[in-house]
Amino acid sequence: MAAKKKGLGRGLNALIQQSNDAPSSTPKKTTPPPSNEKVSNENPSEVALHLITANPYQPRERFEEEALEELTSSIREMGILSPLLVRQRKEDGSGYQLIAGERRFRAAQRAGLKKVPVILRELTDVEALEVALVENLQRRDLNIMEEAEGYQRLADDFDLTQEAIANRVGKARASVANAMRLLALSSKVREMVADQRLSAGHAKVLLGLDIREEQDLLAAQAVKENWSVRETERQIKRRLAPPKKSAGSVSKNDIPPDHVQFLTDKLHQKFGTSIRLIPTRTLANGKKERGKLEIDFYSNDDLDRVLDILGLTEPL
């Protein structure tokens, strides 16, 4: 039994009808369809495929080649069974801009179709992005990074708050906020998440590392050793934990705590990895307790990088 989809309170119908159902004091002017083709706002009509341009607001960036080839074969045999959603091109009114149906559009091009069924809608730029985003969310076609980038585009291009975005796409505000937070990850980690080498859960815990180079290193280690989210979180906590105080008689650090933190932060930035600096200590009897400097690395290549920073360039 298919799982019930939750959280998408506003369906595509609500989005694509909102601009057409709104009352208006003056009738809207429409540009006649090109090449004398009659396109209805209610019923599917066929238009020349070359008159349709791709959707610039398409949030989906990855299309599985195998699935696209299967759809292409199906379209060669059966044609397009579900019409594409388009709007009139604003630039010159001489064609159409795709809003929803990117996979069908690409497969139709591969199949060599001359004409395709479409439904015409009058949509603003923000509505066009909303529809493209919600269509993919409802089909579960977007990975978490594409979803986050779609939300970010609504925020950047149309000055929408997270609350407004959540209301428009029928998601909880927390879901939108959590997805958008992942854009703070390094580009390499975002790529790993988009390719599903790392889960969204891994991505969320990796946000605990401020330095992007360290995110890259730990993410690569998590993929290589197939860490669970819990193990990844444990590794991050271990790296962020302050140095343990040594047991023994009364003593004091030879470097003040605030200066230890300052040095640790500087070394952290220098090496792009976790650093633990434990200063020497003077015991009550006047003897010295040794200090320690630990630098984490995750592979031989990473060790070579650290050695290069230290001026020891001989590779392993």
Q: How many helices (H) and strands (E) does the chain have?
A: 13, 10
Residues contacting residue 104 through CB under 8 Å, at least 6 positions apart:
71, 75, 80, 82, 84, 116
One domain for residues 86 and 64: yes
One domain for residues 280 and 207: no
Does residue 173 belong to any structural domain of this protein?
no
Does residue 28 belong to any structural domain of this protein?
no
One domain for residues 42 and 118: yes
One domain for residues 221 and 275: no
Does residue 153 belong to any structural domain of this protein?
no
Torsion sign over Cα 61, 188, 175, 65: positive
CA 110 to chain centre: 28
Question: Based on the structure, what is the number of domains in the chain?
Answer: 3
One domain for residues 91 and 46: yes
One domain for residues 84 and 45: yes
**Residue 188 pLDDT:** 93
**Residue 91 pLDDT:** 64
Q: What is the rounded distance in angstroms from the CA atom of residue 168 to the CA atom of residue 151?
A: 10
One domain for residues 205 and 228: yes
pTM above 0.75, yes or no: no
One domain for residues 41 and 111: yes
DSSP 207-236: TT--SHHHHHHHHHHHHHTT--HHHHHHHH
> What CATH number is given to the structural domain containing 67?
3.90.1530.30
Active site residue 102: yes
Does residue 219 belong to any structural domain of this protein?
yes
Q: What is the rounded distance in angstroms from the CA atom of residue 285 to the CA atom of residue 283?
A: 5
Residue 19 is encoded by which pair of tokens? 């601009």
Range of the domain at 208: 185-240
**Residue 193 pLDDT:** 92
One domain for residues 229 and 267: no
Q: What is the rounded distance in angstroms from the CA atom of residue 310 to the CA atom of residue 316?
A: 15
Residue 44 is encoded by which pair of tokens? 């599917």
Tell which of 84, 108, 123 closes a domain.
123
**Residue 7 pLDDT:** 40
**Residue 15 pLDDT:** 43
Does residue 94 belong to any structural domain of this protein?
yes
Does residue 71 belong to any structural domain of this protein?
yes
Tell which of 123, 149, 168 closes a domain.
123
One domain for residues 231 and 265: no
Residues contacting residue 7 through CB under 8 Å, at least 6 positions apart:
170, 171, 172, 175
Q: What is the rounded distance in angstroms from the CA atom of residue 185 to the CA atom of residue 190?
A: 6
Residue 48 gets which letter from DSSP? E
- Among 64, 66, 102, 294, the active-site one is 102
Q: What is the rounded distance in angstroms from the CA atom of residue 180 to the CA atom of residue 294?
A: 34
Q: What is the pLDDT along the chain (316 residues), one digit of tens a residue?
A: 444 334 444 444 444 444 444 333 333 333 334 433 444 455 778 889 889 988 777 767 667 778 788 888 888 888 888 888 888 876 666 788 888 888 888 889 899 889 999 988 888 888 887 777 777 776 666 788 888 888 888 888 788 889 988 887 788 889 899 999 999 999 999 999 988 899 999 999 999 888 888 899 889 989 989 999 999 999 888 877 765 655 544 567 788 887 888 888 888 888 888 888 888 888 777 788 888 888 888 778 888 888 888 888 765 5
Does residue 179 belong to any structural domain of this protein?
no
Contact, 10 vs 168, CB < 8 A? yes
One domain for residues 111 and 81: yes
Does residue 234 belong to any structural domain of this protein?
yes
**Residue 206 pLDDT:** 94
